Amino acid sequence: MENSTEKRGGMNRRVFVTLFFCSFASITGVGIVVPLLPVYADSLGASGIYIGLIYGSYSLSRSLLLPFFGRRSDTIGRKPFIVAGLLGYTLVSLAFVYFKSVNELIVIRFFQGIASAMIMPVVQAYVGDVTPEGGEGFNMGMFNMSVFIGLSIGPILGGVIKDRFSLDMAFWCMGGLAMVAFFLSLTMLPAVALEKGAARECMPIPWRRLLSDRMILGLFVFRFSYTTCIGIIWSFLPVYAHDAFSISSSRIGVLVVLAIFISGLLQMPMGALADRRNKTAMIFTGGLTVAVAIGSLRWADGFTGIFLANCLFGLGGGICSPTHIALTVISGNRTRAMGSVMALMTLAHSLGMLNGALLAGLVMDISSIRNVFPLGSVIMAAGVIFCGISIMRSRGLQEEQKVRRAE
């Protein structure tokens, strides 16, 4: 029995390390080019709404297929989707090199969204499968570092590569990293038969039932609000910094990466804190900090103002994101539908990115891009309040159910 437990523990560590590096490599590759796309599309003559569509097409295809891939990974296994998605990322990277029009960029991003739908929710569900009870905040915070570090390094590399070489070289680098991640997942992850897959022992839970769970619904709305703010920043902060203040690509890369880097540094300590402290309070604190930060971009007067606002945004994200993912893992284990719950949260992420990109594009065309940032602040504050109330009501219902079962 002890020998079996040791083998399982060793396998879990190998799976975790493999997923960490696969996530890091794929996210870094995407981070290299995504911040460059708005300025690239702008140079091709794209209007604000078309820049929004370049980002939105990715979120649209991702949103349509996330529920399908998340649920299927609960029933047939995680590895096939991770491997196929990373191969898709590699092929899409090559397409960026050979297709150059605005309409073609929209189509390429649509297919990139399909590949993404196979990867992140399934990878996160896999990590949730091998995370011990009581360590959700620390373990998921540690894994989230792969995302935040990749997103931190990627934009800086992308800016440097574009300035010193070319945009096509940035696309080639993205493809190379995706290919490395593909081979790692293919060779290092155990066969499907050896996955934990507890959810495969029961029938899939209907989506309506999952969304009727107050905690899951609250976490969904919070993730949507938070990523709406990220969508606004990623889609239009580069254009804002370039057009309003003539900031270079390399410095834009630093601005985009700053909030992500700070959040990444805080993932493990805040995750460990979330395992011991009130998670609802941390959601409130981090979320409201994000709301203040994005609103302050409206009054930025140059590089320094944007720099300080992004530092504050990163601090807020570092407090609330590991807490959010810890509660998501707890909900996935409680409902025995880890893949489906992770898919819902990634769906909220995609819808938020889509909402942020399209809102920013519309406001930019109608009035001024500066006016988008206060709108993001209002959306974030509303999401925080709704999530906090939902979590407290959910816990009240769970306590009531425990009392009834005891009686």
Q: Is the pLDDT of residue 99 over 70?
A: yes
121 Cβ neighbours under 8 A, 6+ residues apart = 66, 69, 70, 73, 339, 342, 343, 345, 346
pLDDT the model gives residue 386: 93
Query: Distance between CA 272 and CA 404 in Å, rounded?
Result: 32
| Lowest mean pLDDT, pick from 236-250, 255-269, 382-396 | 236-250
pLDDT the model gives residue 106: 84
Q: Which residue has the tokens 């816990």?
A: 395
pTM: 0.73
Does residue 227 contact residue 352 with C-beta atoms inside 8 Å? Answer: yes
Does residue 57 contact residue 216 with C-beta atoms inside 8 Å? Answer: no
* Segment 244-255, tens digit of pLDDT: 777 776 677 678
Give the CA diameter of the chain.
71
Question: Which candidate, 182, 159, 179, 178, places its Cα nearest to that of 169?
Answer: 159
Query: Distance between CA 360 and CA 233 in Å, rounded?
Result: 9
* Segment 28-74, tens digit of pLDDT: 877 777 767 777 777 777 666 777 777 778 878 877 887 788 778 87
In this prediction, residue 5 has a pLDDT band, given cuts at 50, 70 and 90, of very low
Mean pLDDT of the chain: 80
Per DSSP, the three-state class of 10 is: helix
| Lowest mean pLDDT, pick from 357-361, 373-377, 401-405 | 401-405
Between the CA of residue 233 and those of 38, 76, 287, what are the distances in Å? 11, 37, 16
pLDDT the model gives residue 2: 41
Write out the H or E segment, with its range, that includes residue 18.
helix 2-33
